[in-house]
Amino acid sequence: MTDILHSRRRLLAAPLLYAFLPGMTRAQPDLSRKLGPTIADTGSAFYRFERFDLRSYDGERSYRVMVGIPRRAAPASGYPAIFLLDGNAAMASTDERQLQALDAAQPPVIVAIGYDTELRFDVKARAYDYTPPFPPGQADEEAARGRKGGGADIFLDLLERQVMPRVRAMAPLDSGRLALWGHSYGGLFVLHALFSRGSLFSNYIAASPSLWWQRGVILEEEKNFAHATVAPGTRLWVMVGDAETRERKVALQGDVQADAKAQSMMASRAGMPPRTLPDMIARLKGHSGLAVSLRSFPGMAHGPMLPASLEPALRIAAGLPP
């Protein structure tokens, strides 16, 4: 009887917990939301937008790359540039006010790498593209979610060998001022890019990175990175919402309607010790030549961190304080 009463109280308390924790009901991005017109479609007084399409090397994924080129003339060294993962959602979160602020500084070329879909996210494609390779013999955790992971190196090749040359043909770029931004799985990809190709970008901007993925395989990559050299001026920016830890606990304890796949994912996240990220940041701050910043967004949950982190990322690319 006591167990039944506790269960009933938990069921009744769950909606209250969601109501009082900021952004809890939007803990994850709405993956079914349609894209609709973005500023790349409606136009800007400060940027002109072009688009090109690509296919993955295995032909299984289609990319829509939207390129925003400043209307200001390029500096002698070329434009800075920022490459945005989840490009559909990133463009949907970018507005004219933000572009005007960039125009007043050193406006970067904006390269939004999305997928050829009417949705903001292509869940299966990003699960493969943004997740690092995992150790041989270790089962792919994405299989339990009906998809495949581990393709980050292949996507990095596409980014370096296909996307970057196409963008350089459209606008002159300053190779010493390139930034990469990603959120969630995209934030995980940003860390993998730093740990495996630390000279490709000067600013690596990881928002709410999914450190828990594949039992924390990214932490093993970090160990190998400890002895790697980075180009002078390389910087890692990590951004998280301070409600993200609380929302995981609430989801596990109160979301009785979550399906088995969602519960499995939440359990993986909850299993990551709370100090994992700050401890990693502390270690990376000791890396020679690498500047590291960690910024916490008060009251911000996981899903809303995508647009919340995007604006400071654009400012970083423009040489502005985030």
Q: Tell me how far apart the alpha carbons of residues 85 and 163 are, in angstroms, rounded to a whole number.
A: 12
Of 93, 99, 89, 101, nearest to 69 by C-alpha is 99
- Which tokens belong to 175? 């190779």
Of 209, 215, 217, nearest to 244 by C-alpha is 209
Q: Tell me how far apart the alpha carbons of residues 71 and 49 are, in angstroms, rounded to a whole number.
A: 10
**What are φ and ψ of residue 17, in 5° steps?**
-65, -45
Catalytic residue among 183, 192, 287, 302: 302
The gap from C-alpha 275 to its chain's centroid, in whole angstroms, comes to: 20
Q: Tell me how far apart the alpha carbons of residues 303 and 234 are, in angstroms, rounded to a whole number.
A: 27
**What are φ and ψ of residue 301, in 5° steps?**
-90, 180
CB 230 within 8 A of CB 203: no
Q: Is 141 a catalytic residue?
A: no
- Which residue in the block uniquely carries the two structure tokens 């606008």? 171
**Alpha-carbon distances, residue 5 vs 2, 10, 16, 17, 283 (angstroms):** 5, 9, 17, 18, 46
Helices (H), 21-122: 39-42, 87-92, 96-103
Q: Is 96 a catalytic residue?
A: no
CB 288 within 8 A of CB 14: no
Question: Who contacts 229 (Cβ-Cβ below 8 Å, separation ≥6)?
Answer: 198, 288, 289
CB 2 within 8 A of CB 280: no
Q: Is 32 a catalytic residue?
A: no
Catalytic residue among 184, 202, 208, 309: 184
Cβ atoms within 10 Å, residue 89:
27
Catalytic residue among 141, 142, 222, 244: 244
Q: Which residues are catalytic?
A: 184, 244, 302
